[in-house]
Structure 1
Amino acid sequence: MSDVYLVKKGIYATVAYAFIMSITAVAAKQVQTQIAVPVLVFWQSLFCVLVLLPQMWGKWERRPLHVVKAHFLRSLGGFSGFLFYYWALNHIPLVEASLLRSCAPLCVPFVVLAMHRVMIPKARWLPLFIGFIGVALVINPTPDHFNPWHIIGFLSAVGLAFSMVTTRLLSSHVSGQENMIVYFGFSALLSLPLALVQGESLALPADTWLWVLLVSVTLYVGMFLYTKAYTYAPASVVSPVSYIGIVFAGFWGWAIWGHVPDWLAISGTMLIFVSILLSARLSKKKA
């Protein structure tokens, strides 16, 4: 296969991933009116573990300590990212929660700095500065407008950034299936006591089963497409294309809940997209 053909497949997989994950967000926002966030995270994680378990049959291996640590950080980052994202969905428009979560690439250099003491190159400061101006416009932290749930939405990006960095570390040591099943197993284990501490029952009301199943299936398919996208195309291509998910989220938010972003949110979205595009170009040149 030619590189051009593979990049096209990567772009198609990225668009499909963005669309599928927008459906996950819609279903999650809808079902959370009836069940608590940790309960949803538990069931979606358990579903994915059960799907992945047959794929891992007979393939388990003993891993060195540095791989175990990477698994732990990847799982903790992914779990906190989804938890914060779902909590934010309950309190701010879908498009704003999705946009703030999509800021994860802006957080990656700071995660790398914290984990590996690798300084941020001077050339990357301009895109980061532009991106965080965009985040500020979306959050709009004025006394009359400030909503702390925007901060929770941004924390989901920090968790996702930790997940992205550690997933790259793990990719050269473990299979995608092992990466995912460890993460989902960890997520299920953490969400269980969190639900019990909040006094929530794990039993699902009958009218929520289909919603939870929709969240679980689309999440699994979305993560499968996400993995494929990064297999076919470089991050410098996948990262900017994935921002089409904001368009999908904006459409669903308008069509279902009547949310229309104001000019500050739209301006912030454009600045964040420009910053990601600039960062992707820098990564491509470096490669």
Structure 2
Amino acid sequence: MSNKSVGYAMLLLIVGNLIAVFSDALIKTLGDGVAVFQFVFFRQLTAVIILLPFCAKSSLPELTSGLKWHALRAHIWLFGAVFMVFAINSMPLATANAIFYAAPLIMLPLAFVFFREKLSKQSVLTGVIGFIGVLVVIRPTHIDWAAISALVVALTLAGNNLLIRKLPTHQTVAQTLLLTNLVGMPASFGLALWEGEAWNWAPLLTAAGSSFFILIYAATCVVAYRSVESNKIASAEYSGLLGAVLVGIVWFGEMPEIEMLIGAALIILPLLLLAKVEQKQKRARKKEVQDVVEMSLESDFSLATDPTVER
């Protein structure tokens, strides 16, 4: 873990999630007729092209370090990307994103089980209230394939973010993202061939734009989750829902209902409260350390000036 603050890590995630909404919006412009596996392959291909200049001077040992973890993340990411395309094209943008943001809540028990992270009452409460907000937004009266796909995306996002902790810390963000896409390309190419659709290069530019925005989001996740325990900042992922609402209104004319606004409030307000609590606790710990140091110095000074103490 680095010394970056909780507030800094949360700010990174907020910015990253707001930017990621534009990636989802570009995917939604494709409509239902897109060849899904082919498009996912195009996303990975364009991502590799974007990242290669930033990794041109990387040595082979640098790129092969922790390869098994990169391979695991790559195929989880690929799995989630396929379901993401289906979910985004099958429901309103804000609704799909609301389900995606179940990922922070999923991360809490996963972090506890696999990384033995201690869960504070505040982080658990924030996650639970946030998830209630998600339920208010989607009002699940029945489960369809679109909702199931969105939940699969949430699960893959949670797993990918937690696995960042297993990656070599000496690798740059660009190297990490390059490997995530490069290692998964054989599988995505094979799926595109298995799909059997005629190759259509028209969506390539859309794939490039989607890759660009999602790479920024992925980069913020790598930096943030390497810096701070995930349970302290995972709720910042919810912030992108506001961006999804706004983009849905402006770009696709998807007007949110009152339930959407109530749910968004339940998601965002606990996030702000958690940030305030963490900041207060950090100040208290800092003051406690200072008090201990001051008491120690005073004790040393008293011993040094006491004439009855033998030297």
> TM-score range with shorter-chain normalisation?
0.7 to 0.9
Q: Could you tell me how far 1:112 is from its partner in structure 2?
A: 2.5
Aligned to 2:93: 94
Aligned to 2:161: 164
User: Could you say if the C-alpha distance between residues 182 and 8 of structure 1 is closer, same or farther in structure 2, counting changes exceeding 3 Å?
Assistant: closer
Aligned to 2:246: 251
Output the amino acid matched with 1:21: A
| Root-mean-square deviation (Å) | 3.8
Unaligned runs of 5+ in 2: 286-311
Aligned to 2:193: 196
1:76 aligns with 2:75: yes
Aligned to 2:59: 59
Output the amino acid matched with 1:197: W
Deviates more, 1:252-261 or 1:154-163: 252-261
Aligned to 2:134: 135
CA contact (8 A) 1:98 1:246 kept: yes
Aligned to 1:49: 48
User: Could you say if the C-alpha distance between residues 230 and 108 of structure 1 is closer, same or farther in structure 2, counting changes exceeding 3 Å?
Assistant: closer
Aligned to 1:26: 25
User: Could you say if the C-alpha distance between residues 157 and 5 of structure 1 is closer, same or farther in structure 2, counting changes exceeding 3 Å?
Assistant: closer
Q: Could you tell me how far 1:120 is from its partner in structure 2?
A: 6.4
Structure-1 separation of matches of 2:256 and 2:249: 9
Aligned to 1:107: 106
- With structure 1 as the length reference, what TM-score do the two structures score? 0.77
Aligned to 1:180: 177
Q: Could you tell me how far 1:141 is from its partner in structure 2?
A: 2.5
Aligned length: 278
Q: Could you tell me how far 1:30 is from its partner in structure 2?
A: 0.6
Give 3-state SS (helix, strand or coil) of 1:31's partner: coil
Q: Could you tell me how far 1:166 is from its partner in structure 2?
A: 0.8
Deviates more, 1:16-25 or 1:234-243: 234-243
Aligned to 1:214: 209
Residues 96-139 of structure 1 deviation map (CA, whole Å, 9 limit, x = unaligned): 112222332111123234534x3764725433432332333333
User: Could you say if the C-alpha distance between residues 172 and 282 of structure 1 is closer, same or farther in structure 2, counting changes exceeding 3 Å?
Assistant: farther
User: Could you say if the C-alpha distance between residues 202 and 187 of structure 1 is closer, same or farther in structure 2, counting changes exceeding 3 Å?
Assistant: farther
Structure-2 separation of matches of 1:147 and 1:266: 23
Structure-2 separation of matches of 1:74 and 1:126: 28
Aligned to 1:263: 258
Instruction: Compare CA radii of gyration and give the structure with the larger one.
Output: 2
Q: Could you tell me how far 1:15 is from its partner in structure 2?
A: 5.4
- With structure 2 as the length reference, what TM-score do the two structures score? 0.72
User: Could you say if the C-alpha distance between residues 155 and 138 of structure 1 is closer, same or farther in structure 2, counting changes exceeding 3 Å?
Assistant: farther
Structure-2 separation of matches of 1:110 and 1:242: 16
What is the percentage of aligned positions where both structures have the same residue? 24
Structure-2 separation of matches of 1:236 and 1:244: 16
User: Could you say if the C-alpha distance between residues 235 and 62 of structure 1 is closer, same or farther in structure 2, counting changes exceeding 3 Å?
Assistant: closer
